[in-house]
Amino acid sequence: MRSFQELADMTGRTALVVGGAGHLGRVACQVLTEQGAEVASADLTADPRTLAAQTFEVDLHDEDATRALVPTVLERFGRLDVLVHCAAYTGANALAGWATEFEDQSVAAWDRAHRVNTTSAFVLAQAARDALGSHGSGSIVLVSSIYATLAPDFRVYRGTGMHSPAGYGVSKAGLAQLMRYLSTLLAPTVRVNAMSPGGVWRDQPTAFVERYEHGTPLARMATEEDVAGAIAYLASDLSAYVTGIDLVVDGGRSVW
Ligand SMILES: NC(=O)c1ccc[n+]([C@@H]2O[C@H](COP(=O)([O-])OP(=O)(O)OC[C@H]3O[C@@H](n4cnc5c(N)ncnc54)[C@H](O)[C@@H]3O)[C@@H](O)[C@H]2O)c1
């Protein structure tokens, strides 16, 4: 049997992290780099804190540019083994008609968010399936959310000015179903899984944090590094016999 280090080792493999300039995207880039992979990061703009061999700028609303990421990575690195989809319109996005009262949430914002949160993962999986399937080490990790399966507890948000837009959870539920669809379609050469974090602490209003912690068995919000192990596991041979799962990293919040 290979050692734990050998199973985790990604030397010689290439990973594309879409949304690699974001908070969790940067964690994915770092952990995959530490595992030995060549990492390409793609995002609207580059972030100097992203640890990647190469960064690409892409607007995921643009289907052609999104699709073209895959041949660009192949040209630069010669292969593609792992696709991590981390990009999203989250509840923190300032787009008008998005993270606001339900009656003010707009179809335009809903459509734009779905384009990034869900449609771009579909486009990238289509573009990357052959490359991912050609070396026996293909893995897609779709970063979802507990709101793919849970309703927001709106009592936690009350009076804080924060909102969880309907389109967010719906887009993540779509992503979760895309994961299941791809996990059987692309088997046995490519594994496809989701990873669903709970709320990550970002200095939110105290009332929100206290209520959130109260509803979480591990009694705290997530930190960025809490997702590192899940990414490392799902991307590498540590999870070689795992496909079609949603790995929930939420401090037990969804157990209650
Ligand atoms: N932060 C949380 O509490 C939390 C909880 C559960 C799930 N998630 C999920 O984790 C993932 C990462 O979230 P995060 O907290 O790091 O958010 P983030 O906003 O820091 O990162 C999202 C990234 O997506 C990129 N992006 C958005 N629109 C884009 C576009 N049109 N083209 C290219 N890139 C685009 C942004 O530039 C950003 O870098 C998301 O899928 C999010 O839904 C986050």
- b/e for 59-89, b at 16 or more Cβ within 10 A? ebeeeebbbebbebbbeebeebbbbbbbbbb
Q: How far is the CA of 93 from the centre of ligand 1 (A)?
A: 9
Indicate which CATH number applies to the domain containing 39: 3.40.50.720
Tell which residue, 64, 84, 119, 47, has the closest CA to residue 56.
47
The pLDDT tens digits for 219-247 are: 999 999 999 999 999 999 999 999 999 99
3-state secondary structure of 187: coil
Domain with 40, as residue range(s), is 4-153+165-200+225-249
pTM: 0.98
Residue 133 domain-assigned (yes or no): yes
Residue 136 domain-assigned (yes or no): yes
Give the model's pLDDT for residue 239. Answer: 98
Residue 159 domain-assigned (yes or no): no
Residue 232 domain-assigned (yes or no): yes
Its sign, for the CA torsion 182, 184, 185, 188, is: positive
Tell which residue, 3, 25, 5, 7, has the closest CA to residue 16.
25
Residues with CB under 6 A from ligand 1: 19, 21-25, 43-44, 58-61, 86-88, 90, 116, 143, 145, 197, 199-200
Task: Check if the beta carbon of residue 166 is closer than 8 Å to that of residue 217.
Answer: no
Strand-pair category, 38-43 with 54-57 = parallel
Task: Check if the beta carbon of residue 43 is closer than 8 Å to that of residue 31.
Answer: no
Give the model's pLDDT for residue 92. Answer: 86
Give the model's pLDDT for residue 164. Answer: 95
Task: Check if the beta carbon of residue 195 is closer than 8 Å to that of residue 247.
Answer: yes
Residues in the chain predicted with pLDDT less than 70, given as ranges, are: none
Domain count, the chain: 1
Q: How far is the CA of 21 from the centre of ligand 1 (A)?
A: 9
Residue 119 domain-assigned (yes or no): yes
Residue 216 domain-assigned (yes or no): no
